[in-house]
Amino acid sequence: MIGQQRKQLAALGHATDLVKLGLAGNLRTFSFLTSDGTEKTGAEVDYNGQHAGYADQPDENVNYVDAHDNETLYDLSVFKLPVGTSMADRVRMNTLELATATLSQSPSFWHAGTELLRSKSLDRNSYDSGDWFNRIDWTGQESTFGSGLPMAADNEGKWAIMTPLLSDPALKPQASDITAAEGSALDLLRVRSEVGLLRLGSAGAIEKKVTFPNGGTDAAAGVIVMQIDDTVGADIDPELDGALVVFNASPEAVTQTVVDLAGREFALTPAQANGSDAVVKTTTWNAESGTVSVPARTVAVLVDAQDEQGEPGGPGESGGDQAKLSLSDLKVEQGGTVTVTVSGLDAGEQLAATLHSDPLVIAGIPAADAQGMVRFAVHVPADFGIGLHTLVVTTDTRAPLRATLTVVAAGDLATTGGSFPWGFWVTIALLLLVGGAISVRRRRQVVTTA
């Protein structure tokens, strides 16, 4: 019995490590203290015999907790939570599970209706199940859970388990439950929008600023503490010195002390402090000891507002000067060239650039000159996809710069006269990535600049 419990705790610890790595963008070089007490990089963490961390940058993967295939998030919870779990706790777990993707450093997506506790009546593969099992009530008035046993193809082996679950009225959400789930889910989107530190945008910034305190062999089961410290390195968020995110999946309230944060003034981010969930508002922070208390089945996001008189950034660093990205043209033909200029950098600062979404990695970019400027050419291959593309420029310490570029067929601009004299420079202010699993790997093309 004791041996079995140890195996279960070890499995839970490893699963927690995978969630932490996903929150940090699934970076292969991100290093953290894992559940077995050893420091590992993402590439050293195992995922079914593969490297769990493989990305060089956080936007190379997309995080999710449910998708069009397999069971919906709510249905998975029906299978995995104890049958006696209250509907209120099921709603809270739905929010917490969504948060592991939504509050990650990578972009994320939500399965249609997941914020409404969408159910396909436990169907594992609804591709051929028709509208009856795939329908969604967008008004949120009626759950589709319990619509009948799903088709035999991928489900018959579990019919004996499914039958009592689908017939249990306590497992069918009511309109009030759906409303609560949607409200908390939308609060998560507001959190991601208002807390820029959740979108650092580059591997260098994540590796400097993101940590997971209180990990290792003594970590509380079902609890993740994620710290994003903007007092380390260059100042990325002009409004915040830090963010503290606590995921408490356990059925009891937890208290975590982060000694290094003693003396700092954290408080719930406004989206939660003014949000729809009354429970998360009972989260407390003790500045003297650096202790946070979070209710059961809750994700809490606390922020440390930046002192207007402070001096963010380390010695010799930029302190947040705004960089700018300019393109010589907004349209380019297949086989053509567009010139890119980045200004407002530090002398000697090095850039990386990728034209998405094929993607096309731009090689040979020089370092910034003494005036903090870099200019390079992007040669678009003759077979590059026609349509709207995004150029993403990153550094180790800044949030990414982005600009859109339209690629047209060879000869189109000559034929139409370009449709507009695009010869002026379009300046695009510094943008933060909006988006934290699809783990998508793509072959990258590499071109060399002039």
- Going by pLDDT thresholds of 50, 70 and 90, the confidence category of residue 308 is low
Nearest one of 63, 99, 108 to 277, comparing CA atoms: 99
In whole angstroms, give the CA distance from residue 66 to residue 58: 20
R_g over Cα of the chain: 24
When pLDDT is averaged across residues 142-166 and rounded to a whole number, the result is 97
- pTM of the complete model: 0.71
Lowest mean pLDDT among 89-98, 144-153, 388-397: 388-397
Q: What is the pLDDT of residue 338?
A: 92
Which residue is it, tokens 């290093």? 31
**309/288 Cα distance (integer angstroms):** 22
* Between 371 and 103, the higher pLDDT residue: 103
Residue 318 has pLDDT above 60, yes or no: no
Q: Where does the pLDDT of residue 443 fall: very low under 50, low under 70, confident under 90, or very high at 90 and above?
A: very low
Give the C-alpha separation, 385 to 392, whole Å: 17
82 in Cβ contact with 66 (< 8 Å): no
Identify the helix (H) or strand (E) that includes residue 40: strand 39-41
Strands (E), 193-236: 210-211, 223-229
Residue 444 has pLDDT above 60, yes or no: no
Rounded average pLDDT over 101-127: 96
pLDDT single digits (tens) 348-387: 999 999 998 678 899 999 999 988 899 999 999 999 988 8
User: Hey, what domains does the chain have and what are their CATH numbers?
Assistant: 1-56 (no CATH), 57-194 (no CATH), 196-305 (2.60.40.1180), 324-448 (2.60.40.1930)
